[in-house]
Homo-oligomer: A and B are copies of this chain.
Amino acid sequence: MTKNMGVIFIGNKPPMAYVLAIITSLSASNAKEITLKARGQAITTAVDAAEIARRRFMKDLQISKVSIGTEEMPPRKGENRSRMVSTMEITLKKE
C-alpha cells in the first residue's frame, strides 16, 4: 500500500476541472490508479469526468471499479435529523 493513494474529491466545479486533475495526477506521479469520490449531485459530475478523461484524453485509462453507498451527514443548522446522502467511488486505472 502506498501512503498517498490518489483520491480526487468531486465537488461542484465543471467536469473539465476534474478531468484536468485526473490527467495531472496520473502524469506527475508514477501512480497507476486514481479514485474519484463524490456525494449527492456531484455523482453525475464524477461520471462525466471519468468518461471525458478516458474517451477524449487518456485512451489507456480503464474503469477498474465503480461502487455506490450511503453516508450519514450531520443535520443542517436548525434541523434535528441527520441526512442520508448517496455516495459513489470510481477507480480509474492506467494500463
- Please tell me which stretch of A1-9, A18-26, A47-55 contacts chain B, meaning at least 4 of its Cβ atoms lie within 8 angstroms of it: A47-55
Taking CB atoms, residues of chain B closer than 8 Å to A88 are: 47
Taking residues whose C-beta sits less than 8 angstroms from the other chain, chain A's interface range is 10 to 19
CA distance A70 to B55 in the complex (A): 9
CA distance A41 to B43 in the complex (A): 9
Q: Is the CB of A86 within 8 A of B43?
A: no
Q: Is the CB of B51 within 8 A of A68?
A: yes
Taking CB atoms, residues of chain B closer than 8 Å to A66 are: 66-68
Q: Nearest Cβ in chain B — how far from A56, in angstroms?
A: 9
Q: Is the CB of B63 within 8 A of A47?
A: no
A14 within 8 A of B: no
A90 within 8 A of B: yes
